[in-house]
Structure 1
Amino acid sequence: MLEFLKEIWHYTPGTITILYFVTVVFIAVLIVLENRNPIKTISWVLVLITLPVLGIIIYLFFGQEYRKKKMFSKKGLYYLEKLRKQTQNQLRRLPQNEHLFEEKTLSKKHLINLMLANSNALLTDNNQVTILKDGQETFPAIFQAIQNAKHHIHLEYYIIENDKLGNQLKDLLVQKAGQGIEIRFIYDDVGSWQLPKKYIRELSEAGVKIDCFMRVRFPMLTSRVNYRNHRKIVVIDGEIGFTGGLNIADRYMNGTKLLGKWRDTHLMVRGSAATSLQIVFMADWYFVSKEILKGEAYFRELPQGEGKLMQVVSSGPDSDWESIGQAYFSAIASAKERVFIATPYLIPTPDIIYGMKTVALGGVDIRVLLPEKCDAFFPKWGTDSYIEELLEAGVKIYHYKPGFTHSKVIVADGIFSSVGTANLDFRSLETNFEVNALVYDEETASSLENYFYQDFNSSEQLILSQWQQRDKWRKAMESFARILSPML
């Protein structure tokens, strides 16, 4: 018997090696057959080959592709079908309505057309827009709108923390629930993983309907770790909406000792754009709760008006197209005069970086505002890996010095503006659930550009010859981060 066991043990290592090799090859073939971005495909295959065992574990957590698989059924969501019919009608009539656009707006008609076609982003023209440049402006405005709510409050956040700001929000919601106001609250299970059960229980016991987005439990559903709801949405009574870069945590108001002041951008909208944000929320609410919200209180009619021209565009693994990524690419590649970009992480898809370099070489004034200090070292290294080639093409890059810039803003040609939740990186553009507000308006673009100029004046412009002198070990880390960035 002993000799038999020894014989088995003698062949076990070789058998395990063969099984592991077969598993790696099988997974690699599956990745190739999914027809992903070639860069992502190569990156995943390299991880499987170079990281024995760990590579398979990482793939199971982060690597499975769900974009072309519908993550949840939208059957029964009548307002989405109604929205689709309205946008298709707009798409058909757009060529006949060009006379309604100002000359500058007409230059971005291709963007309007694109958003109608790829994400049913309804074009509305009766909107008021208020730019909120940081937490000091954003949270008082949100809390005041919540305080004035008459019928319902809808909130959706990636991060909620049990700190001073988080508890201020909780207390206000408890108060409003006590007044009979309907409150629905979505939080992301990964982004808010530190949120204690007591916090959630207190809201629930007060009458707030609160649920998490894609709960993660190991080992089941591990692939869902990689598909997170990064949206920040607040809608009050279907009339006022908020979206942008700020989550619910003290650092978004006061910054941190390590990073300094937190520079971020949010929008407050009134009008039909708030209804568009409401539609995004209602679809997400159906996903987490299976409750279909009906009635004019939630889905208001969309009248024409004399306000700002806007589209609200959402994207995620359940979308047919990478809508926000296409918006970014189109805005950058079609720019004629200037493009200003603010993003905390610059890890762009190949088409976007190609577009940035092309327009810069063509004489367009393209500027990118990045944080000098970052809240995560890996995205920082990945971002830095793209800087040299952009500088070589003539892109102007600035490091924000007073603190951490977390804004996700693009302004093009003094008429197009995008403010929302999507960073200029692979995760936001290909993996996460995101939402952005697109505004076609000179006044809004001018105001955002003025904030850019203020930020540029508080930043250091990077010089190519100086940037090339950075340490070799740092260049090596950048290269390593660049390879892995498309996967994470």
Structure 2
Amino acid sequence: MINENEGMGIMLVEQGRKGILSTIFSRLGIILVLFLLQLFLLFSLFRWFENFLPEIYGGTFLFTLLMVLYLLNSRLDPTGKITWLIIIMLLPIFGALFYLYTQRDIGHRTLKSRTSKSVEETRNIIPQNRKTADDLHFASPGAASLSRYIARSGCYPVHGNTEVSYFPLGEDKFKEVLFQLEQAKHFIFLEYFIISEGKMWGQILEVLARKAAEGIDVRVLYDGTCEFSTLPSDYPKRLEELGIQCRVFAPITPFVSTHYNNRDHRKILVIDGHTAFNGGINLADEYINEYEKYGHWKDTAIMLQGDAVRNFTLMFLQMWSLKEKTKEFDYFLAFPTNPRKDAKGFVLPYGDLPLDGEKVGEQVYIDILNRAQKYVYIMTPYLILDGELENALMFAAKRGVDVRIILPGIPDKFTPYALAFTHYGALIDAGVRLYEYTPGFVHAKSFVADHKEAVVGTINLDYRSLYHHFECATYMYGVDCIGEMEEDFLKLLPKCRMVTRLTMKNEKLTRKVTGIILKAIAPLL
């Protein structure tokens, strides 16, 4: 039996299940019709102009050559260039049109403009404390240099006076979230990639509705892909009836647009400007192991209390304001952060935007790998690497750094699982140690290095996160919980199977072949 708290989310969702299905099928139907129309036109052209096939082939060859030269001189990353070269050489006209379609930002020029404007308008709204920056430089010039890069690419300064708590499982975060929500006095901001009916969201929603009734400013922002499977299209209206403001990032509508390629993959919860949560855990029951979707679900999160929370408050408001321009930044950032004077280390929450030309998430990971001296321990659900990140992993291992990566033993999708396999050989030969978590699925996105620096956030080691999604993470240096992260990683190893050349040889042929075939178009998946 479902109690009242757990059932509120289910009650709101099930009323609109038919709306979800109609949305899905209408969009897929239009895409299918357009695809079939393109095939029909291509075949028709060859039939109508069969007497001019030599000229057509010659023109196609010349067009392909020009596109190849253009791509080779473009600013795409090398892996992306290879992918597009293959597509255009196999399908010159269709491939070129598809390339232009994706590169011209059809459907999200307005989003790009608003995002850039929001960042520029808020670039100096949180001033960098000079003493904190100088102290970080004294502790680690390399970490200080990284913080300056993050500040230059966004609006996010590094902070002290911030206590960080580490949660090795979703169940641990969920319990603390419920406690902290009850303490809210002024505002609650939630921004999540996935919200799904069940125990977790039902209990959180009950608190949110009650707090909203008390006059607290409660806002929920979620990604439009939820409308495919977990929430109906009118869910914002239903939350507003409970007194909760709600917005959907890029709602699913029956139009083809590259805008759908850029999802809001962030997971942020901010309470009163002094407490924030970040990590890989969405608001769905599989994340707290309420039921087994892909075996045991291993995920991580952190809670920040103190000055660094301001960065997450700003991050949320930047995304919230994309739909309607807001002047609320100064007001919400003025709330006291309750600085933790005794907290050790430095904390830097940061965002990564897919539309600014900066791969902040990847650059942070590469910088940690390049500066590491002893070890780098990584947890990630996906391993679909470009050349830069793969080389950084191998170079660190070849320098004698103990690089270990824990991946899922039970994958959630076959395609990423197969693509990860294509990187195993090169990484293992370079000295990187790979492990697969046998009890289930690893969804954590974390780096911990040399007992002193770490990252926890939403950024996977794949093209989706590194190139296409709105992401966020928290960089930490000298924070107490880094020891807990290291310990959590090492405790996980006995539950993993180590990947070796022998285990690779015994892997299923379907995984090997699928990875080889799909690697050519991996950046588009």
For normalisation by structure 1, the TM-score amounts to 0.87
- Tell me by how many angstroms 1:477 deviates: 1.3
Residue 369 of structure 1 aligns to which amino acid in structure 2? I
Aligned to 1:453: 490
Contact conserved, 2:124 with 2:155, CA < 8 A, in 1? no
Residue 139 of structure 1, CA deviation: 1.4
Cα RMSD after superposing both structures: 3.4
1:421 equivalent in alignment to 2:463: no
Q: Structure 1: 5+ residue runs without aligned partners?
A: 1-7
Residue in structure 1 matched with residue 520 of structure 2 by the alignment: 483
Where do 1:193-204 residues align within 5 Å?
Answer: 193-194=228-229, 195-197=231-233, 199-204=235-240
The residue that corresponds to 2:503 in the other structure is 466
Correspondences of 1:158-237 after superposition (within 5 Å): 158-194=193-229, 195-197=231-233, 199-220=235-256, 222-237=257-272
> Structure 1 pair 328/465, CA: closer, same or farther in 2 (3 Å)?
same
Indicate yes or no: 2:298 matched with 1:263: yes
What SS does the corresponding residue of 1:424 show, helix, strand or coil? coil
Residue number among 378, 388, 400 corresponding to 1:341 in the alignment: 378
Q: Is 1:331 aligned with 2:368?
A: yes
Preserved contact between residue 237 and residue 298 of structure 1 (Cα < 8 Å): no
Matched, 1:44 2:84: yes
Deviation (angstroms), 1:265:
0.4
Alignment counterpart, residue 124 of structure 2, candidates 56, 79, 82: 82
1:307-322 equivalences in 2 (<5 Å):
307=343, 308-322=345-359
Q: Is the 8 A contact 1:119 1:323 kept in 2?
A: no
CA distance in 2 between counterparts of 1:28 and 1:339 reads: 38
Question: Is contact 1:397–1:462 with CA below 8 Å preserved after alignment?
Answer: yes
Among residues 462, 465, 469, which one is paired with 1:432 in the alignment? 469
Amino acid in the other structure paired with 2:248: C
Provide the residue aligned with 1:131 in structure 2: 166
SS at the partner of 1:150?
coil
Deviation at 1:129, TM superposition (A): 0.7
Distance 1:18 1:301 in 2: 69
Does the residue aligned with 1:122 lie in a helix, a strand or coil?
Answer: coil
TM-score, normalising length from structure 2? 0.81
- Residue 65 (structure 1) shift: 5.7
CA 1:23–1:344 in 2, change beyond 3 Å: closer, same or farther? farther
Separation (CA, whole Å) in 2 of partners of 1:76 and 1:466:
49
- Could you tell me which amino acid in structure 1 is paired with residue 242 of structure 2? A
Q: Indicate conservation of the 8 Å contact 2:407/2:437, yes or no.
A: yes
* Aligned equivalent of 1:284, options 287, 301, 319: 319
Cα deviation, residue 386, structure 1: 0.5
| 1:345 Cα deviation after fit | 0.3
1:11 is the counterpart of 2:48: yes
415-424 vs 126-135, which moves further: 126-135
1:444 is aligned, of 447, 470, 481, to 481
Shift in Å, 1:18: 5.3
Write out per-residue CA displacement over residues 65-108 of structure 1, whole angstroms, 9 at most, x where no aligned residue: 69999703354779713347x34x749x95xx25x6675x4563
Secondary structure of 1:470 counterpart: coil
The question of whether the paired residues in 1 share the 8 Å contact of 2:105 and 2:259 is answered with: no
Q: Equivalences for 1:363-442 in 2 at 5 Å? A: 363-441=400-478
Alpha-carbon displacement from aligned partner over 1:313-335 (angstroms, at most 9, x marks no partner):
11112335211111000001111
My pick for the range that moved more, 242-251 or 75-84, is 75-84
Does the 8 Å contact 2:272/2:335 carry over to 1?
no
- Quote the residue 2:183 is aligned against: 148
Q: Which runs of 5+ in 2 are unaligned?
A: 1-44
For the residues of structure 2 that align with 1:203 and 1:24, how far apart are their CA atoms?
53
2:41 corresponds in structure 1 to: none
Cα gap change, 1:375 to 1:64, in 2 (>3 Å): farther
Structure 1 residues 114 and 392, CA, compared in 2 at 3 Å: closer, same or farther? same
- Return 151-160 or 173-182, whichever deviates more: 173-182
Q: Return the offset for 1:486.
A: 1.3
Contact 2:88-2:96 within 8 A present in 1 as well: yes
Structure-1 separation of matches of 2:444 and 2:356: 24
Which residue is 2:144 aligned to?
Answer: 109
Query: Deviation of residue 111 (structure 1)?
Result: 2.5
Is the 2:280–2:444 Cα contact (8 Å) retained in structure 1?
Answer: yes
Cα distance change, pair 201–52 in 1 and its aligned pair in 2 (3 A)? farther
For structure 1, which segment, 245-254 or 191-200, has the greater mean C-alpha deviation from structure 2 after superposition? 191-200
